[in-house]
Amino acid sequence: MNLSDHFTLAEMTISAQGERAGLDNTPGPTEIANLQRVCRLLEDIRGYLRYPIVILSGYRSAPVNRLVGGSKTSAHMDGLAADFICPRYGTPFEVCRLIAMERKFDYDQLIHEHAWVHIGLRNDDKPNRRMNLTKGRSGGYIDGLVGG
């Protein structure tokens, strides 16, 4: 099933760890609708970068999220986040910096996770915060985009 021109439900729900553990990672209708919102944002980012985006993680069921060590409040569980790379454009930091500098992208959280980019949307009627964070080397998050 296509969620947008360049992103499928299969790639937005893949979890090698979850599959190895025999965990179900099937989203419901609400999560699929949320994934479509995320994919619209990813389409805009892909167009701006002018290169394909490789999805590392999208939707995660609660059991899969626990297995991979995700946050207990992870937007991934609602289908409202994606982790990705765009190696043909540059490093995750370069991708984060470009997204943050371009005011047209409406996101709640943009996190430089060092090895990938995390982008998420809100799950309520409040406006997205355009929060920019960097994963700390020893855990936690640092306000702003740090790295290079």
Task: Look at residue 107 in the predicted model and tell me its pLDDT.
Answer: 97
HSE-CB for 13 with a 13 A CA cutoff? 21
Task: Look at residue 147 in the predicted model and tell me its pLDDT.
Answer: 82
Indicate if the pLDDT at residue 148 is higher than 90: no
Task: Look at residue 140 in the predicted model and tell me its pLDDT.
Answer: 87
- Residue 90's alpha-carbon distances to 34, 97, 116, 117, 148, in angstroms, are 27, 11, 11, 11, 11
By percentage, how much of the chain surpasses pLDDT 70?
99
Higher pLDDT pick, 103 / 122: 122
Mean pLDDT, range 19-36, rounded to an integer: 97
The model's pTM: 0.94
Task: Look at residue 123 in the predicted model and tell me its pLDDT.
Answer: 87
Indicate if the pLDDT at residue 40 is higher than 90: yes
Mean pLDDT, range 56-60, rounded to an integer: 97
Phi, psi (deg, nearest 5) at residue 47? -60, -40
Element (H, E) at 8: none
Task: Look at residue 111 in the predicted model and tell me its pLDDT.
Answer: 97
Indicate if the pLDDT at residue 97 is higher than 70: yes
Give residue 60's identity as a one-letter amino acid code: R
Mean pLDDT, range 1-5, rounded to an integer: 97
Mean pLDDT, range 35-48, rounded to an integer: 97
Element (H, E) at 36: helix 29-49
